[in-house]
Chains A and B, each alone.
Chain A
Amino acid sequence: DIQMTQSPSSLSASVGDRVTITCRASQSVSTNLNWYQQKGGKAPKLLIYAASSLQSGVPSRFSGSGSGTDFTLTISSLQPEDFATYYCQQSYSASYTFGQGTKLEIK
């Protein structure tokens, strides 16, 4: 199975900050990598797919990059509604896996 590891596990930041979250795969997943946002135990929301493509309706302050085993999610200027937990997920294998999550908190 492909293991996904995110860092950091938690992060404190202020409104207006630029934030980067990293995701590493245990083997190459090409660009079959997606990012989700989850708030308060509700259903996750897709932000980025194919490593760098912005899902329709998602603000442009969210961006993704990477390929192979190393990926990043960047929020260019944090807004109050961005404080949430973020997950990466690989779909290279039909047996999907998620990273353990990164909780983004207000400083």
Chain B
Amino acid sequence: EVQLVVSGGGLVQPGGSLRLSCVGSGFSFTSYWMNWVRQAPGKGLEWVANIKPAGSERYYVDSVKGRFTISRDDAKSSLYLQMSSLRAEDTAVYFCARSNCVRAVTASNGVVCKMDVWGQGTTVTVSS
């Protein structure tokens, strides 16, 4: 079974740090871009960061640049999100998701990436 299992959430004080983990199984983890997506209470989905296989490229939403670091250990089929200088507005459920890039003749460069496998989410609460 293809799955992603997320862990590491919890309660942290403003300014603190936390590390989230996401372990993949049932697929070749090394072949896929991986993402973190979050959802604040009562709000919509917000893409946070992604990372290319082997970690050679990484992208972040502006609001977390300089505070969050996405990384991966392909030997362990694991994705991480190191979060520091946490703020109340970082309070959210954090999901990891696989980007499956497939051929699509009408898409830019003939490839479209879709987040087709998701972890269950872990809750991060930033509060004093």
- Does more than half of chain B's interface fall in helix, strand or loop, or is it mixed? strand
Interface of A toward B, CB cutoff 8 Å = 1, 29-32, 34, 36, 38, 41-46, 49-51, 53, 55, 67, 85, 87, 89, 91-92, 94-101
Known A30-B107, A43-B95; judge A49-B102 contact (CB<8 A): yes
Q: In the complex the two chains form, what is the Cα distance from A97 to B47 in whole Å? A: 6
Q: CB within 8 A of B93: which of A41, A50, A53, A96?
A: A41
Number of CB contacts from chain A to chain B under 8 A: 86
* A1 and chain B: residue at smallest CB distance: B62
> CB < 8 Å: which of A30, A43, A96 contacts B119?
A43
Interface residue from A41, A67, A95, A96 paired with B39 (Cβ < 8 Å): A41
Q: Determine whether the beta carbon of A91 is less than 8 Å from that of B113.
A: yes
Q: Does residue B66 face the partner (Cβ distance < 8 Å to A)?
A: no
Give A63 to B107 CA distance when docked, in angstroms.
17
* Chain B residues positioned under 8 Å from A31 (CB to CB): 104, 106-108, 112
| Residue in A49, A51, A100 whose beta carbon sits within 8 Å of that of B44 in the complex | A100
